[in-house]
Structure 1
Amino acid sequence: MSVNTPAMRRLLFVILTILFPVLNHAASKPAGVKKLEVPDRGFISSQQARTWEEGLISGNGTIGINILSRPLDETVIFSHERLFLPKGAPTMPPDNANRLFEIRNLIDRGLYRQATELAFDLSGQESFMY
């Protein structure tokens, strides 16, 4: 029987129509998903990041990078310190050297709120910047 006969072509078409989705599904799903081994040094990521907060963040203080690890839709975000404008004039650190012992003493006694208020009052700021 020749493949060029209409009956044989129909049979081949039906077989391929049935087999292709089955074979494609079997090939796309691994039979036993193997758990990734944790390396002695470094890290692994077994899931892609859904948002930038879940991405791999790295940098040196001047430049930064965020990689979202989406295999078919990779997103790499670069940033540089010069891309961000200052929100106001530079703030000088408060001169609290003469009261530092008192602040530390409050912290040691568990009086965190009082220590925070004292340090904030010494800063001369009207409110927190953030």
Structure 2
Amino acid sequence: MKKLLAVLAAGALLVAGCGAASQPSSGSGSSSASTPTTSSQSGSSSSSSSSSGSGGGSADVTALYQQNCQACHGANLEGGVGPALDKVGAKLSEDQIQKQIENGGGTMPGFKSSMKEDDIKALATWLAAKK
């Protein structure tokens, strides 16, 4: 019985945490989502965010992670409700990571409808380098 309650509580935290992560956390974003704000602010790097994020791109990817993933995977990729991601690149390819972000799986929600494709690609590239 205690195990069932623990699973239900973890599920409730996941839903609450991941739902809150997809909403803008600062008042300076646009009305629909905060992820386009980070990409559009850089102007010239919006198309380069789909390649390897270097320089200003990695700051954008860090912001994407904080806004969309941190609630479940921790501030330092250490895990929490979701698994640790600090060495995810040693376990999954960039394509596998991208598909996981897009479609979700297990208890993770998919972000295909709430994040731009370029942002998902940049996040997958960044996470794939974590080995």
Which TM class, normalised by the smaller chain length? under 0.3
After TM superposition, the score normalised by the length of structure 2 is: 0.25
More strand by percentage: 1
* The structure with more radius of gyration: 1
After TM superposition, the score normalised by the length of structure 1 is: 0.25
